[in-house]
């Protein structure tokens, strides 16, 4: 028997023992099924977001701490965590009557910090330290050595892994197997190692796919190198799997039981979060959606298969939803942004919009006047691949030069510049309109013969009402003043508007 075989055998045994312990504080979570038609594909989602801490980490933390001696519990424990493991340790500390010192990176989401306090109460002390999990972990180790505290590792511990493996045991006991594939997100590797071991023991023909985030796939790097290695850089979008160096024990097991490695981008993860909201009405944290992101990336080759993924957590600051929403369409290859050249004259923007194929969904419009003769609006579209081809054909037929700028920095940060010296008598407004296809074109149609557009700032927000910041320019102050009457006469084309003075615009764009 090799060392890895012996380790895997030990892990299997520990998972059996863990069954008895973890249900003292938790319960089995559901296994939901999503049926797709194109292609035909069955996706089974293990809903760890419905666990006591809205993530799977309670399993390993409690299983490890429930085995501590009375003396060890009396001294207390210490750990480091980006959030979910910390909640598991806090829950276990309160249940077992011990004290837990928890080191968390300074950037840990506020929601996870509050949840740790909620689960542990007076039994926990949070210490924010360093910018990364590794820095927090090093400080926690040092603190534990100094004060004689037991360190509860987030993943590189057989008892912790065994606790995580009980989620796979529930999958097996659900009676919904066997499965052709399991797409498992991998950070430190504890959940992936234990889940893969248990699934392969019960479903020998299953293929395990390890899914890492682009810029944080430390386990795949370890397997490629033949040993754990430190990543030079670390992407933190999927913060729950942002581990710079894979565990020693988890590496040995994952190298043996994971059949294939792949990575997913932040945009693909965002798209997977949207997919799970639409299909299950749940919102996972980014790391919780990585397995599904892997499935969606390869959905065509998985046609006709039964595929498993683990929604491993749903602890995320609410503010992050805005970033996820922006990335979702790009991750599903539905969002593209074009810079299109038109002549700088009254009605040119309307003419461009009327050139677009029917049904084109504009989700972003950025324009500021910077040239006297030509304009270069940046327009974001949300459409299918076929619709994009139709759009490109339409622009080429009408001789509109264009280029794709989806990944450009100024576009991403919405840096909309305009040259104030080119404006004579500008008139700026905030416009509120009904959010529907063609609404902006309808408005421009009513005012384009009266004014020249000099500024346009609009982004789709998902509301029934859209909001835009618009600027119009006139040859003289009299034209400027008369534009109020034009707007009043065109009231059917919008809900309301509010005038913005050039002085306020200057402060906005300073």
Mean pLDDT of each 10-residue bin along the chain, 510 residues long:
80 96 94 94 98 96 98 97 92 97 88 91 95 88 97 97 98 97 97 98 98 96 97 91 94 97 96 96 97 97 97 91 79 81 91 88 93 94 88 95 92 89 92 86 87 92 87 86 89 91 78
Scanning the structure block, which residue is given the tokens 């309160």? 94
Question: What is the dihedral sign for C-alpha 146, 148, 153, 158?
Answer: positive
Residue 495 is given by DSSP the state S
Kindly report the CA angle at 415 between 409 and 420, in degrees rounded to 5?
145
Asked if residues 192 and 160 have their Cβ atoms less than 8 Å apart, the reply is no
Question: What is the dihedral sign for C-alpha 145, 147, 152, 158?
Answer: positive
Report long-range pairs for 481-488 (Cβ below 8 Å, ≥24 apart). Answer: 482/450, 483/427, 483/447, 483/450, 483/451, 486/446, 486/447, 486/450, 486/451, 487/429, 487/447
Q: Give the helix, strand, coil percentages of the chain, each rounded to 5.
A: 45, 20, 35
Confidence (pLDDT) at 1: 45
**How far from chain centre, in Å, is Cα 508?**
30
Among 57, 243, 285, 47, which Cα is nearest to 164's?
57
Task: Please classify residue 148 by burial: count the beta carbons closer than 10 Å to its beta carbon, then call 0-12 exposed, 13-18 middle and 19+ buried.
Answer: exposed
Confidence (pLDDT) at 331: 58
pTM: 0.84
Among 415, 416, 431, which Cα is nearest to 466's?
431
Domains and CATH numbers, the chain: 3-55+158-331 (3.40.50.1100), 58-151 (3.40.50.1100), 335-508 (3.40.1020.10)
Number of other CB atoms surrounding residue 171 within 10 Å = 25
């Amino acid at each position: 028997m090799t060392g890895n075989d012996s380790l895997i055998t030990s892990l299997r045994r520990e998972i059996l023992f863990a069954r008895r312990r973890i249900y003292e504080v938790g319960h089995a979570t559901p296994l939901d099924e999503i049926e797709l038609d194109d292609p035909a594909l069955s996706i089974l989602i293990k809903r760890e977001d419905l666990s006591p801490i809205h993530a799977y980490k309670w399993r390993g933390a409690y299983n490890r701490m429930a085995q501590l001696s009375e003396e060890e519990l009396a001294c207390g424990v210490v750990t480091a965590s980006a959030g979910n493991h910390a909640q598991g340790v806090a829950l276990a500390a309160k249940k077992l009557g011990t004290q837990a010192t928890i080191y968390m990176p300074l950037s840990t989401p506020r929601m996870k910090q509050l949840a740790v306090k909620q689960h542990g109460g007076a039994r926990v002390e949070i210490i924010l330290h360093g910018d990364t999990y590794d820095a927090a972990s090093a400080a926690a180790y040092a603190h534990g050595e100094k004060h004689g505290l037991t360190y509860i590792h987030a993943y590189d511990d057989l008892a912790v892994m065994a606790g995580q493996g009980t989620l796979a045991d529930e999958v097996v006991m659900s009676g919904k197997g066997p499965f052709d594939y399991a797409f498992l997100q991998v950070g430190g590797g504890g959940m992936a190692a234990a889940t893969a071991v248990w699934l392969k023991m019960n479903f020998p023909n299953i293929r395990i796919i390890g899914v890492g985030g682009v810029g944080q796939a430390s386990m795949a790097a370890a397997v490629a190198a033949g040993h754990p290695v430190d990543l030079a850089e670390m992407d933190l979008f999927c913060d729950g799997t942002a581990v710079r160096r894979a565990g020693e024990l988890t590496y040995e097991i994952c190298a043996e039981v994971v059949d294939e490695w792949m990575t997913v981008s932040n945009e693909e993860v965002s798209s997977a979060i949207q997919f799970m909201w639409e299909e299950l009405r749940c919102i996972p944290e980014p790391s919780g959606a990585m397995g599904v992101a892997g499935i969606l990336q390869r959905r065509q080759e998985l046609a006709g298969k039964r595929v498993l993924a683990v929604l491993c957590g749903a602890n995320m600051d609410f503010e992050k939803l805005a970033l996820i929403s922006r990335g979702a369409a790009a991750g599903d290859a539905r969002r593209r942004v074009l810079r299109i050249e038109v002549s700088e004259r009254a009605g040119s923007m309307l003419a461009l919009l009327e050139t677009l194929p029917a049904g084109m969904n504009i989700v972003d419009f950025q324009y500021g006047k910077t040239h006297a003769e030509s304009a270069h609006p940046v327009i974001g579209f949300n459409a299918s691949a076929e619709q994009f081809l139709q759009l490109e054909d339409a622009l080429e037929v009408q001789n509109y030069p264009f280029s794709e700028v989806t990944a450009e920095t100024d576009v991403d940060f919405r840096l909309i510049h305009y040259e104030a010296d080119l404006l004579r008598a500008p008139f700026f407004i905030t416009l509120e309109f009904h959010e529907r296809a063609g609404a902006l074109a309808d408005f421009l149609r009513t005012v384009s013969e009266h004014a020249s557009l000099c500024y346009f700032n609009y982004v789709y927000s998902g509301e029934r009402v859209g909001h835009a910041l618009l600027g119009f320019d006139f040859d003289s102050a009299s034209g400027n003043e008369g534009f109020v009457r034009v707007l009043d006469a065109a009231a059917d084309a919008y809900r309301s508007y509010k005038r913005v003075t050039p002085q306020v615009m200057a402060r906005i764009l300073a």
